[in-house]
Structure formats: C-alpha cells, structure tokens
Structure 1
C-alpha cells in the first residue's frame, strides 16, 4: 500500500446524485456541466478534515452510473474532460487525493463490445449481475478484458487520479485483479486500490487479489447493530475479526456509503450517533465520511426501483446554501477527525477490549507511538470504567462542556476518548 494512504480520510460523494443529474441519461448525449459544482465543496471537505475525494461513478452510463456505457468518457450529465481535469486540478491545488469508482464486473446493455466479451451460462443464456437484466457480466477469463481494464485504469491515472475503488470486486476471481494490478502498478506504483467486499474472507481475498484494501462491511454492521441492541459483545467480536484483517492489510472503514441506509436513520437512538463516529475514528482502518453524514442527514435505502434516491441526494451549489444545516454534527466530525490526525498511528493500530458489558465498552489502542482509550456507555445510568488511565488526557467528548474531574465516569448514553498528551 502506498505510504500516503496511511493518512487518507475520504469524503465519499455520489456525483450523479450530488449534482442533481437526471436519473436516466437523456437522448442525444447533451453535455451538462455539473461537475464544477463539486469544486465549490472542496474547502468544505478540507475543513471537515478529509484528505481526499472518493467519487462514485463519473463515466458515461445509462442510469445510476453502475451501468457503464463507456469507461473512457465522462457522463454527459456531469460534464466533459475539461470539467473533470479542472476538478482534479482544483483538488490537487488543495492537497486532496481523488479515487474513482471503477465498475469492471458488469456493464450496461448498450456497452459496445464483441459478443464473446460477455459471460454466458452453459446453455448460452446471458449472465446478468445479481439478477439485474440491464447489467451484463463481463467474461473475465478473456485476456482482452484484463487488458481493457488495465487501459481504463491507466488512462485516468494519467489524468491525475490517485486510485480506484473496484465495484463488486467480490464477484470477480481475485486472480483477475492480481493480473490487472501487477500491470497498472508497473506504471503507477503510488496508486491505491480498494475492492468492494461484503462477506467472506477479507484478508484471504486481499492477499490473492493484491488489493491494498477492502470495504469493511462486517464492522459497519456491528457498529450500528450493537448500539441498537445494547449488545457490545457483538462489536467486541467484530473488532477481534477486524484486527485479524488489519494485520495483513488495512481495510476501508465507514458508517455510511451510497449503498446503505444513512447512519442517522439506522440508529434507533440519535444520542448514539457520536458513539458510532467515535468507533469509526478510534480504531484501525482507512475511514470515509459519506457526504451528508457529517450533517446528520437521514435517508432510508429501499429494495425497489429508485430505492437508493433517499441516500444519494442533491446538494446545493455551495455549503452556505445547505437547508437545515447541522453544524453541530459537522463540528463533532471535525473534533474526532482531529483526534485521528493527531494520532495517525491509529490507521494500523492494535485495539484490545479492556472492559466489556452489554452496554459499556472500553477499547484501548496503541503502541510505543501513543495510546488511545475509547469509553462507550449506552446505558441509562452513568458508568464508572474500572480501567487504567495513567498518562492519558481527555481528547474528545460529545460536546464542549467542562472536562470532568473523574474521566472514567461516563454519563448515560455518552462516550469519551482519552489519549497520550
């Protein structure tokens, strides 16, 4: 993994939704210059504490971006090459990295390719991605597909991006990615590659595929589920598995993305949003913030046509035009990201459970470079944690109230972070 990725904190944006693009590409390929709107939000992302943009699909597609028509063209609903190059230049001028979403498992029906490029069942029937008849699965056993993906990746790396998120990586044999990435890294050794994995052997898949990172869905689920159920044993177990993944590679961590219900909606008790964020930024991984989560936006993902719309909203032209802005949650993100940045070793840290009950959890991370103690209480009574805090000071808590005389006494439904000074 390139060294710069150890310090990456992503602001994850779904451009088609963010810019208010039409749900379906209009006929005639009329170019609408919407990408420049993102430039107005770069300083907002930096002030939040992020160091890069993790962008959803920007390539020409039929509808939601994951039905690609042409990997070498910017979606006309977003703009053109000039718009993209200007966005990259504006990001680079501010020190922001850019990672693009590469959909290389499947394509749209209108994707122009030879018939043999597509997978078929033994009876000759077309293979569709997870039953979606408008998504045709590519035949990754063909050398031509590997060379095509290499060409696409290198094309956009040449235009200034820093890496790739590989959509539905789990649906492709890991050996395919190993072959692709070996060629791409020869030309771009500093590029970073994260694959979308949902279930299974994260570490094993990453090792065979040579991916730098994978999406940590197991930890995501354990965070909101343990908070809702008042069952920190689930989170403790997930963190133990998470640690086993971190040792060989660093997963990409999150509490929200373009494919899931918003964390502010997922949590049964809004007092626990800070707990979820404290876990995200207090344990190992490469964290991302899904646009709008920093404003405590709500949104329910539904299993229907258009069911993603609520979690992929349009943003206004500029940050000061946000309706019902929640700057309290934004500033909470800032404080927690600040703790993360002051303790950059957390990216690869080892985390141990040092105290555990159903509704109280103490996590200790660190080594010779520093220490971080995260105290979580979701009970209805204040909780005194019987753990050692010598040499640690309070680094973050839910609000700016005066620091308590007793750092180990955590109020009901509250949390606290202590670190080395």
Structure 2
C-alpha cells in the first residue's frame, strides 16, 4: 500500500504562487520560492502531508515548456535553494512530488535549438516526434514536427528514442538524489508512450520502492494507466466534475452515481487510490465554480471522506476565486501572500484541518469499502467500512434543516465532525437532524477507537 493513500496533498503552481515574471530572461536566479518557508506552519495546521509542485524546472514561460530538465527555473531559484526547501519540507513531515513534463518540451530546449541551428546535420533530429524537413512549421522553422494539441511552442518528444529516454530518466535520478523527491505527477499522461512509463516505473522503483507515480488523465478508463505495470494513480476528473455540479444542480444522484460506479461493491476502480481534487491550475477555482458558497464545506467533506487521495489547491482553503478566460489561465494561478490570506475568514481552513484530523484518525476513511446508503436530490448518506470500523457520512445541501433516517447496525454513533455528539440506534435505524448546507461524519462504536477531537 502506497504512502500516498494516507496523504493529504497541497497543490502549488509555483510560478503563479511566487508572482514570477511571465517570461524567463534566463539571467541570474531569484529564489522567489523561498517564500514557502513561511507557509510550512500553515500547511502543518491544515494537516498537509505532501506538496505537489507544478513545474519547477527551467522553462520559457508557463513551466510546461521545459528548456532544461536539470535546472530549477531561475524565476523560482536554483538547484541549491530548492534542495534546501525540499529538505525543510521533509523535516516537517511533508513529502514532495514534482511535475514530470515528459510528453513535450519548449522551443528553448537545448536539443531543439541545436536542430534549429544545424538542421539535418544535428544529432538531435531523432529526439522529436515526426520531425522532418519536408516543409516549414507554423512557427517558421524550415522543418516540421509534432506538437501537443496544436500548440507548436510545445514540441513533442520522441519517447521511443533511447537517448531521450536516458536523458529523462537521468534527470529523474538527479531529482531523486538532489531533492529527495517522493513521487511524480506525469503531465499529459494520455499522450505518453506506455513503454516509457514502464521504463520510468522500473527505474524509480529500483531506486526507491515507495516512489509514487500519478498521471494526469482527463478522459478514458483510468485503469489503462493506473495498474501494476504503469502508474500508481491518476487524476479523478469524473468526480471533480460531480463534486461541484451535484451541488449546483441540487442533484446528489450525480456524485453518488460516480462514487458507486468507481468504488462501490462492483466498482471498476475500487482497488485504486485515485488523486481527488475540487480544483487545480487548469480549472475554475471551486469558489468561482459553485453557485452557492455555502456548499464549500460539503464539497470538501466529500473530498476528504470519499475513496482516494484528497488534494487542496493553494489558496482554495480561503475560498480564493478565479475563473479561466479565453485568453489566459492566469486568474487560476495568482500570487498569494500569507499575511493577506491570514487576514481573511479562516472558517474553511478550520474545516479542512478538522477533516484532515478525522481522515487520519479513522482508517475506514482511507482504506474502507464504499457504499451508498441513502440518495436524494439534496441529501446523501454513504458508508466507508473496514471489518473493524464503519463510518457514515451524511450530507444536506438544502437551505433548511432536514431529518435523515438511515439503516445501520451500530448501537451508538458519534458525530466526530460536530462536537462529538452521540446518537443511539433505534431498532436498526437512526433518525437525526442535519442542519442546512452541512454534514455529519458518524463513527460506529467510538469507544473502540482513539479520537481526541
């Protein structure tokens, strides 16, 4: 079982978080990412146990246009400053996962520049997918090449070329040695050759059997990528959509269907720990996506109690807003200052902290089976269970208090989310109130488990 299944992630898009210049001048490095030192107490208070950094390696603009896999982006610092930051995170019990952007590089990538300079005589022509001199590229080059989704500033690598594979694996080895990273998030994993993932998995597992690999997958059968041969996990975009959409449409059937389909008794992913999130650097922030901000806490209650690995996108613990425009993702990726954030309402932070403590305290929420118990448009009850423990999650998105009745076998249920209130079984069922836009997390037989609230 991977360490990631016990983790609570914090996702940072470093260039935005640090307020870095939009374009890299490749001049002297500025250690802007050092601002994260001041955030470590906040991360620990939230119960964060792993940080996923978006791209940190030398790039031209947004980080996904890599120029050098072996150097930290000068707008964030240098290898020495980042290594010290990773050490500080590890010393505080926080693991480090980096973005592995291996499908493509930027046009400032040194091997591509060699092709631009030397043409067909460049020894690196074979490094790029379908590069040929049969006609010009849309960028004005005297040759053609494949790009990522028609974005020709992103040049697709030939991951079947042994020298490319060795260059990338050696880079990963350097990251593991220098920064002691604990895992990788693989960008655009649906575009990456499966043989490369096999080579990557064999390489990292030989060095560190606990190394974690997670792929960015938006559509398709997640088990094609998350399996013993390839990756450990993938992004759960199906439930991302259901988390906010079910609240906006007042239709808990939507998220209940996805959870049951994925993780129920016959769930197609019941043996996978998928990477779960309410927002990230590519989609509208949750506070902008929800039509009723009173539903923020319920969304995160589901995120932390459903099967999978929960992740919080930086700033969303304060309900920071941000929506994409047709021209830019910048509104999703703002520069945040801790002092300013600490002057905001801390209610959602406190809720997330409590959810993290609850998740850590009760194994059923990390490893237990999943099953829906009651499904209504505006109310939902589901159960997480191991042979030793059962936890019931009750949610109400309505604007008024409701009373929910649901079957269970526990003589006593304790609401660990709300003041540890006790509810007794009444003939195999319990009928209890759930306030508007709120939830209860009820643990069976609480006397058998240590819980300090």
TM-score higher than 0.5:
yes
Q: Which runs of 5+ in 2 are unaligned?
A: 112-123, 136-143, 425-429, 447-453
Partner residue in 2 for 1:198: 218
- TM-score, length-scaled by structure 1: 0.93
1:126 and 1:408 map into 2 onto residues whose CA distance is: 63
Q: Are 1:210 and 2:209 counterparts?
A: no
Change (3 A) 1:55 1:344: farther
**Displacement, 1:402?**
8.1
2:363 and 2:58 map into 1 onto residues whose CA distance is: 37
2:350 and 2:283 map into 1 onto residues whose CA distance is: 23
**Displacement, 1:16?**
0.8
**Displacement, 1:207?**
2.0
**Contact 1:296–1:326 (Cα < 8 Å) also in 2:** no
Counterparts in 2 of 1:116-135, with a 5 A limit? 116-120=126-130, 125-135=144-154
Per-residue CA shift, 1:29-55, capped at 9, x if unaligned?
221111211111111101110111111
Partner residue in 1 for 2:168: 149
**Displacement, 1:208?**
6.8
2:354 and 2:361 map into 1 onto residues whose CA distance is: 11
Per-residue CA shift, 1:239-289, capped at 9, x if unaligned?
023213543321111111111111111111111111100100011111111
> Aligned match of 1:349 in 342, 362, 368?
368
Per-residue CA shift, 1:303-357, capped at 9, x if unaligned?
31xx2111111122xx334365221111011111111111134223221111111
Partner residue in 1 for 2:40: 42
Counterparts in 2 of 1:27-66, with a 5 A limit? 28-66=26-64
Counterparts in 2 of 1:347-386, with a 5 A limit? 347-386=366-405
Deviates more, 1:358-367 or 1:338-347: 338-347
Partner residue in 2 for 1:258: 281
Partner residue in 2 for 1:25: 24
Q: How many residues align?
A: 413
2:323 and 2:165 map into 1 onto residues whose CA distance is: 37
**Displacement, 1:386?**
1.9
> Aligned match of 2:332 in 291, 305, 311?
311
**Displacement, 1:301?**
1.8
Partner residue in 1 for 2:432: 408
> Aligned match of 1:104 in 102, 105, 110?
102
Q: Are 1:267 and 2:290 counterparts?
A: yes
2:294 and 2:104 map into 1 onto residues whose CA distance is: 40
1:251 and 1:308 map into 2 onto residues whose CA distance is: 25
Q: Which runs of 5+ in 1 are unaligned?
A: none
1:109 and 1:193 map into 2 onto residues whose CA distance is: 27
1:265 and 1:227 map into 2 onto residues whose CA distance is: 13
Please identify the structure whose Cα radius of gyration is greater.
Answer: 2
> Aligned match of 2:262 in 242, 248, 265?
242
> Aligned match of 1:115 in 125, 130, 139?
125
Change (3 A) 1:220 1:278: same
**Contact 2:7–2:48 (Cα < 8 Å) also in 1:** yes
1:401 and 1:228 map into 2 onto residues whose CA distance is: 30
Partner residue in 2 for 1:227: 247
> Aligned match of 2:347 in 297, 320, 328?
328
2:227 and 2:420 map into 1 onto residues whose CA distance is: 46
2:331 and 2:423 map into 1 onto residues whose CA distance is: 40
2:21 and 2:37 map into 1 onto residues whose CA distance is: 20
Partner residue in 2 for 1:281: 304
Counterparts in 2 of 1:182-197, with a 5 A limit? 182-197=202-217
Matched position secondary structure for 2:260: helix
**Contact 1:372–1:419 (Cα < 8 Å) also in 2:** yes
> Aligned match of 1:174 in 167, 177, 194?
194
**Displacement, 1:150?**
1.3
CA RMSD, 1 decimal: 2.1
2:341 and 2:204 map into 1 onto residues whose CA distance is: 40
**Displacement, 1:8?**
1.1
Partner residue in 2 for 1:83: 81
Deviates more, 1:372-381 or 1:195-204: 372-381
1:38 and 1:17 map into 2 onto residues whose CA distance is: 13
1:323 and 1:42 map into 2 onto residues whose CA distance is: 14
**Displacement, 1:6?**
2.4
